[in-house]
Amino acid sequence: MTNPQSRPLTGGVQDFPTLESVQRQAADMRAHFVTGVTRPLEARRAALRTMKHWLKIHEREVLDALQHDLGKAPYESYVTELGLVYEEIDTCMRKLGRWARPRRVPTPLTVFHSTSTVYPYPYGVVLVLSPWNYPVQLTLIPMVDAIAAGNCVAFKPARESAATAAIMLRMAREAFDPRFVCGIPGSANMNEWILETHWDYIMFTGSPHIGKVVMAGAAKFLTPVTLELGGKSPCFVHRDANLKIAARRIAWGKAINTGQTCVAPDYLLVHEDVADELCRLIEQDWRRFYGDHPLECEYWPHMISDRHFKRVMGLIANHNPNAKVACGGHGDERTLKIEPTIMRGVTLNDPVMGEEIFGPVLPVLTYRTLDEAMRIARTFPHPLACYVFTDSKCVEQRVIHELQFGGGAVNDVCVHMSNNHMGFGGVGNSGMGAYHGKVGFDTFTHYKSVMKHGTWLDPTVRYPPFTPVKKTIAHLLMH
């Protein structure tokens, strides 16, 4: 399935100026899938090896592209992007034989003598629509899962992260037959063209607003979707928490990619007895991480665009008279960098609490009782993530069992999505479906249920006429 550079492409990004060419490409990929070439396990493993090999060879260029688009330090880009992709590839290659094996299941006595088997089967042509904030891992991890499941994959990277999008498109051209893996460049009308095209599965990562558009487009073809969206993810800090650990981990999680992270703690719910100390420690940790002048720190990332910079600065500037910026609050419009910022005294009516922040701003709300904190969290739609710092098993379990959220962590933030032995996904407004590891394989797999019934015996109990004897036998077998 590899595509040597010396071989001329028969399709690909240069062929997407019109709706018709997008639809033609999808049809070509579906015809390629029907040949069965993507389904043998060794073909899937070979494709994953090809992807990893290409990324390894071009690793420096990928990291440079991320630094250009988002200002990420190479280390941060590796541990939050490329490293996770490598782990996903290795996990899928190691477990694929077991995941893809047909599975025998019990069969009711009413259909004796029969055997029942569940066959994992790929959907066909999967479309991956990825965002700009983690443009490598949020493009490639779904692709890895879809390829492992035996599908062909088309993907459209976000235009905002242009340098990274270009290198992902280049990977598709250089490493794969375009009938198997194809990159679609963004353009003014591309979203409309994509949603007027028949795909067999759509994976979208982005905002709830665009998620609704994608879901409506998919409905035209009854195409199943997985939506990874976002929301205001709360972080509880109870009075019995280890504050030094909590502060350091919150400071780290909120600052990754300068807060442009879908699972970043969006706001803090802190017990009033420890709020002042926690904020002091978070500010102290930020200074330790990025210095006294983070806008001058070479490895402090920047906002993706001027529009997003101005939006987040507006959230900082507009607040009620009793609210204040406890630390940070400044930005540099030339570099698009914003200082890591804590806001105190905010209310639910402040703009910073009215939308997902997606920037390095941390509003702090305090509570006296856990019930009060839970009521605040419930005023928002179900978030993608939820975090709680506490040494109390009771507090931990209440948050886990009483709140609805996609996933989360106890005494940490963000790290749960790095474990590909667990699915990662949202619920309600924060998304539907999940992926990563086996859950990702399942997402892009249709499980065919097949029963094989022997012909050497054919009891007449199911056939008319329905006599009293047959009724008695049926009640005995199906009671």
Q: Which secondary-structure segment (H or E) carries 181?
A: strand 181-183
- Residue 214 one-letter amino acid: V
Task: List the catalytic residues.
Answer: 228, 262
Distance, CA of 408 to CA of 417 (rounded, Å): 8
Distances (CA, A) of 248 to 195, 241, 281, 283, 302: 43, 12, 8, 9, 21
Contacts of 17 (CB under 8 A, 6+ apart): none
Distance, CA of 385 to CA of 228 (rounded, Å): 11
Tell me the angle at which helices 162-175 and 41-57 cross, rounded to the nearest 10 degrees. 130
| Burial (CB count <10 Å: 0-12, 13-18, 19+), residue 116 | middle
Distance, CA of 261 to CA of 303 (rounded, Å): 11
Maximal CA-CA distance, the chain: 88
315 half-sphere exposure, CB direction, 13 A CA radius: 26
Specify the 3-state DSSP secondary structure of 235. strand
**CA nearest neighbour of 152 among 31, 260, 19, 24:** 31
